[in-house]
Amino acid sequence: MQVQDTPEEWQVVATTTPFTGNKTSVRTDDVVMPDGAVVRRDYQVHPGSVAVLALDDQDRVVLLKQYRHPVRQKLWEIPAGLLDVPGENPLHAAQRELYEEAHVKAEDWRVLTDVYTTPGGCDEAVRIFLARGLSEAEGERYEVAEEEADMELSRVPLDQLVRGVLAGELHNNCLVVGVLSLVAARAGDGLDALRPADAPWPARPFEA
């Protein structure tokens, strides 16, 4: 049996958008179930995101510590951000986020994994990249504001992050998935066997 997610779209007989925010919205769909019943489903409509697990030559990961108001915690995270423009190339967005949040550039980029963060209540799709060959970016640092003005930047050994994830001390979705995916890739076919940075992404199609 092949274990693989497959596209499918059940009939929607009515849809409304009761809330529209700056970047996301809430949609309400009336969906026809297999038994013919119609049920209402509310979910957040999201433009999609990219995240970057940036690994240096000392096997350390570039991390940011940022306040997240919904969970009332400061979380250690890997650099990440929204796809600001429909059809935006995710690699370009990831390179931008790594520069803006960490003032770092990378020579080698691979797709580490693609995930839906909370598919029961949000259509957000995230592509997590692995970036290697790190160096300091040129030019002025990006000017930050709001929560980002309080961010803490650090480089943390990968093995320490694995222990923190398994101990329940680290909770950010992209950090957890990225760290464990990296360890799994190393234990499997190796990092050079990862998908190229421009690999297709059906959840958020883009132009090269």
106-115 burial string, b = 16+ CB within 10 Å, else e? beebbbbbbb
**Which token pair is 88?**
């935006």
Q: Which residues contact 168 (CB under 8 A, 6 or more apart)?
A: none
- Of 92, 98, 127, 94, nearest in space to 111 by CA: 127
Amino acid occupying residue 148? E
Please, what's the b/e burial string for 131-168 (b: 16 or more CB within 10 A of its CB; e: otherwise)? beebeebeeeeeeeeeeeeebeeebeebeebbebbeee
| Residue 22 three-state SS | coil
Q: CB of 43 within 8 A of CB of 123?
A: yes
Is-contact 95 83, C-beta < 8 A? Answer: no
Q: Out of 97, 148, 152, 207, pick the active-site residue.
A: 148
- 148 flagged as catalytic: yes
Q: Which residues are catalytic?
A: 148
